[in-house]
Amino acid sequence: MAKNGLVEFDAVLAIARHGSFRAAALELGLSATALSHAIAKLEGQLGVRLFNRTTRSVSLTDAGRHFVEQVGPAVRTLHDAMGAARSQQETPSGTLRINAFASGGREILAPLLLTFLRRYPQVHIDLVTEERIVDIVAEGFDLGLRSANMVPTDMIAIPVSPPRSFAVVASPAYLAANGTPRTPPDLMGHACLRIRLPNGALHRWHFEKGGESVSIDVAGPITLDESSLSRIAVLDHVGVGYFMEADVRDDIRAGHLVRLLEDWTPPLSPLCLYYPTRRNPSAAFRALIEMARASTA
């Protein structure tokens, strides 16, 4: 069957193989008239005859032989490429690029992305984590991951997590030695791990309760810009830390850290995978979207 965009080239190669317009037309699923028109159109564009034809025989001209020698390998390559592209519409395969911030990436890695890869082993996920907000279309990403309130309004968003929250934590040993803060202002009397944002500014710890909002510019012995480093320091009893709850959930459950001021850290917006409206998405893209929708159904 002739393929879209390559009809004239397929026609030339089929006629050259069979030495017959009739046999070539049967192979390509075209009428003899349509095949003749395709060849006439191509010869008109090239300005040369590709075939000598009589009522009894068909043969390549000298120009036709050179044309077939040069075009044949290229057409096979194009068909292979088109076939590979079509296969991605049928079987999840290829690469999906996702832009996320680091804590969000950690939250969906095991429950969503690794589960997806086990189900679809022909897919490769390229997960890029960074704190800056990027234009996922301009920078070549298939999807982005951000808090729902940070998703651009022109994007389709799929929640992929339950409500999230910040968590203030310290080790039992630190609290035994220094006491337990009961309200946000109490933190001013404690060693706190300071957080540097990607733009270089220091992060103020934010709290809310009963309509009251408080931001604290904490003080402490160390400033860090990565939560895994802050976690190490808090577990080593250096001071009080401020994390996404998911990053220290296991430590809290195990008793290695104690959660503080929980009533001052209300739920945040859920995480969302987001993407622009698109036509003809790949099978891998469709499969990930379906799994993401099912994960919070």
Domain ranges of the chain: 7-90, 94-162+270-295, 166-264
Condensed to tens digits (0 to 9), the pLDDT of residues 4-45 reads 467 888 888 888 888 888 888 888 888 888 888 888 888 888
3.40.605.10, 3.20.20.70, 3.40.190.10, 3.30.70.920: which CATH number matches 94-162+270-295? 3.40.190.10
CATH number of the domain at 7-90, please? 1.10.10.10
Enter the pTM of the model.
Answer: 0.64
Contacts of 295 (CB under 8 A, 6+ apart): 111, 112, 160
What fold, for 166-264?
D-Maltodextrin-Binding Protein; domain 2 (3.40.190)
Mean predicted lDDT score pLDDT of the chain:
89
Domains 7-90 and 94-162+270-295 share a fold: no
How large is the C-alpha radius of gyration of the chain?
31
pLDDT beyond 60 at 1:
no
Mean pLDDT along residues 141-152? 93
For residues 183 and 212, the answer to whether their CB atoms sit within 8 Å is no
Condensed to tens digits (0 to 9), the pLDDT of residues 201-258 reads 899 999 999 889 999 999 999 999 888 999 999 999 999 999 999 899 999 999 999 9
